[in-house]
Structure 1
Amino acid sequence: METILLVMSSWWWVAPAAAGAGAATYAGLTTRSRRARRLELDAARHEESQAYRALVAAKARVRTAQAEALTTKSAGPVRAYDARRALQAAKQAERNASLELRASRSRVKAGYSQYRAAAAHDPLPIERLCAVHDAVNARWLAYETDVDKALAHPQMTDTRHPATVAFLLAQREALSKRPMLRDRVTPQQFAEYRVAVRHLEAAFDEAERQAGVPGAARATSPAAATAASISAAATAIAELADRLPSLLAKLPQPRQGEPPAGRVP
């Protein structure tokens, strides 16, 4: 009995230490799983912060261009024209940055909703993204392994064609961005890999479209078309506002002693 008491008094710390180690391991695994499931949401938040910084920088460039345009008014028509063009480009960049910030905030909301609705058995965001990457590679390998498809569309395997070269470059970029350890992916790495996979999909679709593959052409989304129309209209209005003073200056002035046009003396 004394021996048992002696052993228990000497090794009493083993049980609490084992329990603490087990709890720490369980907490670490739970935290890692939770971080992996909200990886897409964290990546969207990372993109939102980047878009916000880009908008702040674009606003600063607009202020600089406005100051430059004011100082070059009396420096000659050439410098004044260049300053107005630079101001117009800065304002367009600011509008694009504002639209990108709005889109990033929408992605954050979508990522949060998707994270809240995800179940424990659903695939992780990095697994879904790797599956999309593998699907594009499988579509590409079909032209390399299927003789009928290779003969029907030889352009898809022709490395001299620009669209095929663009796809191969996008494929190499996506492969370089693909994480090796999926359980240690940071939000920035996930965002970069997602952008590379999207470019890969777009490059492959364009290569198939130029190769004449049936059903490869995809129509532009209504949101993208609307954004392009708004951007083009804003650019046209800005150009008209810049050219309006010069157009008014070219109008013939009424002669001395003659009434303005449309009035009867």
Structure 2
Amino acid sequence: METVLFVLSGWWWVAPAAAGVGAATYAGLTMKGRRARRLALDAARHQEAGAYRTLVQTRAATRTARAEHRAERSRSGMMSSQTLEAKRELQRAKRAHTSATLELRAQRARVKAAAEQYSTSSRADPLPVEKLHAAHDEVIARWLPYEVDAEKVLSYPGMTDPRHPATLAFLRAQREAQRLRPAAGGRVSPPQFIEYQAAVRTLEETFAEAERRHGDGLSRTAARRP
């Protein structure tokens, strides 16, 4: 009952949002004007609608698993292998439903934060896509010295060696972020913004991990030297 009330509390806008989720829903948002500044908020709402749909699906799956577990108990008894497997499936469905409930709550918090940020933003502030461009460019600017600075190339050879797993993960993230990067002044839909946002976040994380791995390795090598 608590889950149902929780879902209904936010239903006032999810219904129209969920009804228009296809690619045709967003014909593209021009990078000028109010809609461009609202892009991060629209993207957060788009994700919330997806989280709500997932919650509905997991709730239905839990009901189905519960019914199958009861049916197996009546057919095969409490300790049969079929009943035990049905019980495990029910437990998995319950865990998925709990996870979906928590994710919807998190998404609603993100919508609230995005709405507050949008309401307090001004025309002088960078647009949401411009902020992602800046974060993307910052990582690339931090990585370039490992390729062109002779001292860093010699000190951290692993940072450009794709045979190292951490470096390979970063290079793949770099390629994916570049692939998804919207053109400056182009049209960006909320789903495209979400994909690019996730790619930039992965790029930041993999770069930090590559620096940590290679930096730690260099420190250990230096410590072993007489």
- The change in CA–CA distance for 1:141 and 1:79 in structure 2 (over 3 A counts) is farther
Task: After superposition, give the CA deviation of every residue in 1:190-212 in whole Å (9 maximum; x if it has no partner).
Answer: 11111111111111112222222
Partner of 2:144: 141
The residue identity in structure 2 corresponding to 1:41 is L
Q: Secondary structure at the match of 2:200?
A: helix
Task: After superposition, give the CA deviation of every residue in 1:166-195 in whole Å (9 maximum; x if it has no partner).
Answer: 112211221121112534111111111111
1:79 aligns with 2:82: yes
Partner of 2:65: 65
1:51 aligns with 2:67: no
Cα separation, 1, equivalents of 2:186 and 2:159:
35
What is the TM-score with the length of structure 1 in the denominator?
0.65
Q: Is the 8 A contact 1:52 1:101 kept in 2?
A: yes
The residue identity in structure 2 corresponding to 1:113 is E
- The change in CA–CA distance for 1:199 and 1:94 in structure 2 (over 3 A counts) is same
Cα separation, 1, equivalents of 2:167 and 2:161:
7
Map 1:1-265 onto structure 2 (within 5 A).
Answer: 32-73=32-73, 74=76, 77-180=80-183, 182-212=185-215
- The change in CA–CA distance for 1:139 and 1:81 in structure 2 (over 3 A counts) is farther
**Residue 71 of structure 1: how far off its partner (Å):** 2.5
Gaps of 5+ in 1: 1-29, 215-265
Q: Is the 8 A contact 1:37 1:124 kept in 2?
A: yes
**Residue 32 of structure 1: how far off its partner (Å):** 4.1
Cα separation, 2, equivalents of 1:100 and 1:71:
31
Gaps of 5+ in 2: 1-29, 218-226
Greater relative CO (CA pairs within 8 A, separation 6+):
2
Cα separation, 2, equivalents of 1:213 and 1:134:
25
Cα separation, 2, equivalents of 1:213 and 1:128:
31
The residue identity in structure 2 corresponding to 1:194 is Q
**Residue 127 of structure 1: how far off its partner (Å):** 0.4
Task: After superposition, give the CA deviation of every residue in 1:139-176 in whole Å (9 maximum; x if it has no partner).
Answer: 22121112222222222111111121111221122112
> What's the RMSD between the two structures over aligned residues?
2.1
User: Which deviates further from its counterpart, 128-137 or 157-166?
Assistant: 157-166
Task: After superposition, give the CA deviation of every residue in 1:47-75 in whole Å (9 maximum; x if it has no partner).
Answer: 11111111111111111222222223317
The residue identity in structure 2 corresponding to 1:156 is M
**Residue 38 of structure 1: how far off its partner (Å):** 0.8
Q: Secondary structure at the match of 2:33?
A: helix
The residue identity in structure 2 corresponding to 1:168 is L
The residue identity in structure 1 corresponding to 2:35 is R
Partner of 2:221: none
Q: Is the 8 A contact 2:31 2:186 kept in 1?
A: no
What is the TM-score with the length of structure 2 in the denominator?
0.75
Partner of 2:224: none
Task: After superposition, give the CA deviation of every residue in 1:67-97 in whole Å (9 maximum; x if it has no partner).
Answer: 2222233176332332222222222211221
Percent of paired sites with the same residue:
55
Aligned residues: 185
Q: Is the 8 A contact 1:155 1:161 kept in 2?
A: yes
The residue identity in structure 2 corresponding to 1:66 is R
- The change in CA–CA distance for 1:140 and 1:31 in structure 2 (over 3 A counts) is closer
Cα separation, 2, equivalents of 1:70 and 1:130:
53
